[in-house]
Chains A and B, each alone.
Chain A
Amino acid sequence: MTSTLDSSSSVVSPPPSSFLEVRDLKVAWPTDDGLVKSVDGLSFSVERGKTLGIVGESGSGKSVTSQAILGLQKGTRAQVSGEIWLDGDELVSKTADEMRVYRGNKVAMIFQDPLSSLHPFYRVGEQIVEAYRVHNDVSKDVARKRAIEMLDRVGIPNPDRRVDDYPHQFSGGMRQRAMIAMALVNDPQLLIADEPTTALDVTVQAQILDLMRDLQKEFHSAIILITHDLGVVAEIADDVVVMYGGRCVEAGAVRDVFYNPQMPYTWGLLGSMPRLDRDRKGRLDPIPGNPPSLINLPKGCVFAPRCVQKHRVPGDACATVRPDLLEADPGHSVRCHIPADERRRIWAEEIKPVL
């Protein structure tokens, strides 16, 4: 394990009051071409019973963040630093063995592709039983009853028979339900869902999102939902973190971020997607250019090379000075050099009317 702690965290900071709090998380991978900074100074917190949505394009570091919370990079070449506090325990400093106690028990994860995340060789029930027996000292029969109960809870028809099926006998939606059953079998307090509906059809996606909402009410767990789909976030999240180039560029309550976004990247995302609930517009407004390479990140604001608003900042601050994530309104932080008043005006007068 090459978990390096930076100087600031060598002073032991007090455990936070939030259920999960991530402070200044950094994940970097040494490669032949240089250091790939997948996540670079990310902080957020989640309370129980709440859902945090992490949105970003491919390569923005959203999945790496979730892997860091589960400690999946331990034992690899990844350099992880920062603090992850879960219910009073710090996870970054834990060893790989210590993390096993948390993984699947207190923290569980649902992956994107339910077919490749289920083992094709074992029956669905056996896989759920295994997940349960790792953390609970019970007999196989008890665990099997529990597996059937969970399959029933997530809406698999005839669970007592289906428990003996193999993953290939399940359809895509049922596989994802089985994955959710497996994740929830130990009553986790934190559930990380990494693109849980991306591989599913839209009608099945609606079923799964509905199920996740119901289950959250029942189990009162915290959910981190990672997705690239702003619609899914709007539907299910309470708070949103928008990531770009390994950093959080905007964070706030879901209504703040959707109704009063203040970062040019968020404006760009909203402008690029065709909207079904609005009149059709003539042309889409894509964000020009391509996402940055995580090895050679731009010196100033990571979004500056693609930003169409950077002429509003005098001088070349956007290209040379890295902006801080500052609170623009209570609970709504933005990383941008444009002054907050100016941003509010641009959104209200120039961006919002043409969305």
Chain B
Amino acid sequence: MTVAPSTEPSGAPTLRDDALLQVRDLKKHFPITQGILFQKQVGAVQAVDGVTFDVAERETLGLVGESGCGKSTAGRTITKLIEPTSGSIVFDGKEISGYSRSQMQALRNDIQIIFQDPYSSLNPRHPIGTIVGAPFRITDSSLTDKEIKSKVQSLLERVGLNPEHYNRYPHEFSGGQRQRIGVARAVALRPKLIVCDEPVSALDVSIQAQVVNLLEDLQEEFGIAYIFVAHDLSVVRHISDRVAVMYLGKIMELADRDTLYSKPLHPYTHALLSAVPIPDPDNQNRRERILLTGDLPSPINPPSGCVFHTRCFKAQERCKLEVPAFREVAPGHAIACHFPEERKPFDPNAEGRVIRSTMSAEEQDQQLPVDAHPDLVQQAHQDDRSQFR
């Protein structure tokens, strides 16, 4: 593949028409409305704003980014748990972005999801036999209870749980065991694609490794493709074949794992990698550190031009004005940046150099928390001032 000379912000590199899942310029804008009887839209949270990527069969694509970058929304939109605003999702040759709920029902055999919180994603009033057996019961009414029970028990055994625990309730299991139940439920129907939404973030490090290994084994055994959504860069590197770095609803950099972690080009990827603490006290102080100023801007009113320019340590005038095209710079390596530069992460010869992004107090101050809408905040401020003074 050659460098795409696209000037459009949604230029689509690394396209593979044979891929299992093809996502093109996918957008999800959550409307913000005001008024009670006559609601009018006053804005939109641009959670996912034009992402394009492919997932091949048996492949793991990591979606990584900080909270509020839209990675979970992207994952849920692909499973159609959230309706996309625009864009196309082609799964197994079928355009599914316009599918209705009942049309999706048939596809649920092929697309499944594992949720982050193993405490709230299992119904506390159902024994795990019922929870893991539900996919069988829904899709094949000819199965007898006995058949379902034996299928569930072999699944439980496969994910490392005791099949005797068929009749126990979720509260009787630890966090790691509950996540195994969630995994068993997702793989029950041998799907082709599983969206894993932060599947190990809530677990302790020793348990995390157990679940990561289980996911890898199941992928090998059943030939599943994963979209692995996580904020932990080291776990994503471990499990993914290719990785997409997201920031404020857009993909900043997409490359295969080794390229992304050894030769990243985007300044945001550089900053992320340099911020991860490594368990090595001596190298920790020697490597280069990039400290970004401020927090993630609000996705209601994202910055002009490159969305990262407000915190970028390399930002120039052009970045404020012009949206960088998401373009391919090497086969399979796409970035959205005007000034890409190769920078070696974890270089022990960097002598502890510190790079800080510069941002004026006014600029920082304009940044609002991700969950606060400017109008609503102002409203709230006025309201409680009148109430308490």
Q: Which residues of chain A have a CB within 8 Å of any CB of chain B?
A: 57-58, 157-158, 161-162, 166, 168-174, 201-207, 209-210, 228-235, 254-255, 258-259, 268-277, 280, 283-288, 290-291
Q: Could you say which residues of chain A place their CB within 8 Å of the CB of B279? A: 230-231, 233-234, 258, 270, 273, 275
Report the separation of the CA atoms of residues A47 and B167 in the bound assembly, to the nearest whole angstrom. 53
Going nearest first, the 10 A-B pairs with the smallest beta carbon separation are: A231-B277, A286-B209, A201-B66, A274-B238, A272-B209, A287-B206, A157-B361, A206-B275, A284-B209, A57-B204
In residues 265-298 of chain B, which contact A (Cβ within 8 Å)?
271-284, 289, 291-296
Q: Are A206 and B377 in contact (CB under 8 A)?
A: no
Within 8 Å by CB of A258, from B176, B281, B311, B365, lies B281
Which B residues are CB-close (under 8 A) to A234?
Answer: 277-281, 284
Q: Give every chain A residue within 8 A of B372 (Cβ-Cβ).
A: 168-169
Chain B residues with a Cβ under 8 A of chain A: 66-67, 174, 176-177, 204-210, 212-213, 216, 231, 233-235, 237-238, 257-258, 261, 271-284, 289, 291-296, 311, 345-346, 361-362, 364-365, 367-372, 377, 380-381, 384
Residues of chain B with a CB closer than 8 A to A230's CB:
205, 279
CB distance from A249 to the nearest CB of B (A): 13
A275 to B234, CA, bound (A): 6
Contacts of B276 in A (CB 8 A): 202, 231, 276
Q: Could you tell me if A273 and B277 are in contact, using CB atoms closer than 8 angstroms?
A: no
By a CB distance below 8 angstroms, the chain A residues around B289 are 206
Assembled-state Cα–Cα distance A288/B296 (Å): 38
Which of B296, B370, B384 has the most chain A CB atoms inside 10 A of its CB?
B296
Q: Cβ of A276: which chain B residues have Cβ within 8 Å of it?
A: 233-234, 237, 261, 273, 276, 278, 345-346
The residue that A285 contacts in the complex, of B209, B280, B346, B384, with Cβ under 8 A, is B209
A-B contacts besides A273-B234, A291-B204, 15 pairs, CB < 8 Å: A58-B204, A161-B365, A169-B368, A169-B372, A172-B369, A201-B66, A202-B275, A203-B272, A230-B279, A231-B276, A234-B284, A277-B278, A277-B280, A280-B257, A286-B213
Cα of A252 to Cα of B69 in the assembled complex, Å? 39
- Please tell me if the beta carbons of B205 and A275 are within 8 angstroms of each other in the complex: no
Bound Cα distance from A165 to B67, whole angstroms: 23
Given A203-B272, A204-B295, are A258 and B213 neighbors across the interface (CB < 8 Å)?
no
Chain A proximity of B238: nearest CB distance (Å): 4
Q: How far is the CA of A285 from the CA of B208 in the complex (A)?
A: 10
Distance in Å: Cβ of A15 to nearest Cβ of chain B: 32
Q: Contacts A58-B204, A169-B377, A170-B369 hold; do A255 and B209 have CB atoms under 8 A apart?
A: no
Decide: A205 near B234, CB < 8 A? Known: A276-B346, A284-B209, A285-B209: no
Contact status A272-B208, CB under 8 Å: yes
Cβ–Cβ < 8 Å partners of A202 in chain B: 66, 231, 233, 272, 275-276
* Nearest CB of chain B from residue A339's CB, rounded to whole Å: 25
A-B contact pairs, 27 of them (CB 8 A): A58-B204, A166-B384, A168-B380, A169-B372, A173-B294, A201-B66, A203-B66, A203-B275, A206-B292, A207-B291, A207-B292, A231-B276, A231-B279, A231-B284, A232-B277, A259-B281, A271-B209, A272-B206, A273-B279, A274-B212, A276-B345, A283-B216, A284-B209, A284-B212, A286-B213, A287-B209, A290-B176
Give chain A residues whose Cβ lies under 8 Å from the Cβ of B283. 277
Nearest Cβ distance between residue B37 and chain A, in whole angstroms?
A: 27
Bound-state Cα–Cα, A201 to B363, Å: 20
B271 touches A171 (CB 8 A): no
- Are B369 and A229 within 8 A (Cβ)? no
User: Pick the contact of B295 from A172, A231, A283, A284 — CB < 8 Å?
Assistant: A172
In the complex with contacts A158-B365, A202-B233, A203-B275, A268-B206 CB distance below 8 A? yes
Instruction: Given A171-B367, A280-B257, A290-B176, answer yes or no on A206-B205 (Cβ-Cβ < 8 Å).
Output: no
Complex: A202 Cα to B371 Cα, angstroms: 19
Q: A234-B277, A276-B261 are in contact. Are A57 and B205 (CB under 8 A)?
A: yes
Q: Is the CB of A286 within 8 A of B295?
A: no
**Min CB distance, A305 to chain B, in Å?**
13
Across the two chains, which residue of chain B brings its CB closest to A293?
B174
- Which residues from chain B contact A290 at a C-beta distance below 8 Å? 174, 176-177, 207
Are A284 and B238 neighbours in the complex by a CB distance under 8 Å? Answer: yes
Q: Which residue of B lies closest to A230 (CB)?
A: B279
Bound state CA distance, A283 and B214, in angstroms? 10
| Whole-angstrom distance between the Cβ of A214 and the nearest chain B Cβ | 12
Interfacial chain A residues near B311, Cβ < 8 Å: 203
State whether B177 touches A169 (Cβ < 8 A). Answer: no
Are B237 and A201 in contact, with the CB atoms below 8 A? no
Chain A CB within 10 Å — which of B67, B177, B274, B275 has the most?
Answer: B275
Expressed in whole angstroms, the Cα–Cα distance for A283 and B238 within the complex equals 8
> How long is the Cα–Cα vector from A274 to B276 in the complex, in angstroms?
12
Tell me whether B206 and A274 are in contact (CB under 8 A): no
User: In the assembled complex, which residues on chain B have CB atoms less than 8 Å from the CB atom of A235?
Assistant: 277-278, 281, 284
Q: How far is the CB of B276 from chain A (nearest CB, A)?
A: 6
Residues of B within 8 A of A258 (CB): 279-281
Q: A255 and B281: CB pair below 8 A?
A: yes
In Å, the complex CA distance between A166 and B371 comes to: 14
How far is the CB of B388 from the nearest CB of chain A, in Å? 10
Within the complex, the shortest CB–CB distance from B278 to chain A, in Å, comes to 5
Residue of A nearest to B363 (CB): A157
Q: Are B280's CB and A206's CB within 8 A?
A: no
| Chain A residues positioned under 8 Å from B272 (CB to CB) | 202-203
Question: Is the Cβ of B176 less than 8 Å from the Cβ of A231?
Answer: no
Shortest Cβ distance from B235 into A: residue = A274
A283 and B369 contacting across the interface, CB-CB below 8 Å: no
Nearest-Cβ distance from residue B379 to partner chain A, whole angstroms: 12
B205 touches A171 (CB 8 A): no
Cβ of A285: which chain B residues have Cβ within 8 Å of it? 209
Minimum Cβ distance to chain B for residue A259 (Å): 8
Of the candidates B277, B294, B367, the one having the most CB atoms from chain A within 10 angstroms of its own CB is B277
A210 to B362, CA, bound (A): 22
Q: Is the CB of B273 within 8 A of A171?
A: no
Distance of B148 from chain A, by nearest CB (Å): 28
Question: Does B369 lie within 8 Å of A169, measured CB to CB?
Answer: yes
Q: Kindly list chain A residues whose C-beta atoms are within 8 Å of the C-beta of B365.
A: 157-158, 161-162
* Docked CA distance A232–B278 (Å): 7
Collect the chain A residues with CB atoms within 8 Å of residue B237's CB: 274, 276, 280
